[in-house]
Amino acid sequence: MVQEFVETVRQYAVDIGGEILTYAEELKQEGKLEGKMEGKIETIESLLAVGAEWALITTATGITPPQFRLLKEQLRQAAAPSAGGDQKAA
């Protein structure tokens, strides 16, 4: 979806460029970051589901239980503005 937005901006805002394209690229990077966060969370949850101990999970992922909770909260917060982002702009 972000890639479609970037392409649309490039198509219709050729003369504007600058700030809009910078923002589009920022959105694209945020999407990549969220994807990485989701991947780490899914991996850890899968390991927990099969009974892996946190010592093994931390060794494998570099993430401790407190960091895992923080990562999940950050992902939740990152997803929340996209649902209500239009309300802030209005």
The one-letter code for the residue type at 44 is I
Q: Is residue 35 part of a domain?
A: yes
Distance CA(54)–CA(48), nearest Å, equals 8
CB 61 within 8 A of CB 42: no
d(CA 4, CA 19): 18
First to last CA, the chain: 22
Q: Give me the pLDDT at residue 59, please.
A: 92
Give the number of domains in the chain. 1
Residue 90 lies in a domain: no
Task: Note down pLDDT in tens along the chain; length 90 residues.
Answer: 666 766 665 665 555 555 555 666 766 777 777 888 888 999 999 999 999 999 999 998 889 999 999 989 888 887 775 544 444 444
23 lies in a domain?
A: yes
Residue 87 lies in a domain: no
Identify the pLDDT of residue 36.
84
User: Which residue range forms the structural domain that includes residue 32?
Assistant: 2-81
Q: What is the pLDDT of residue 30?
A: 73
The answer to whether residue 62 sits within a structural domain is yes
Instruction: Tell me what pLDDT residue 41 has.
Output: 92
- 63: left (phi > 0), else alpha (psi -120 to 50), else beta? beta
Determine, yes or no, domain membership for 43: yes
Q: Show the DSSP H helices in 1-90 as ranges.
A: 2-12, 18-49, 54-61, 65-89
| 89 within domain boundaries | no
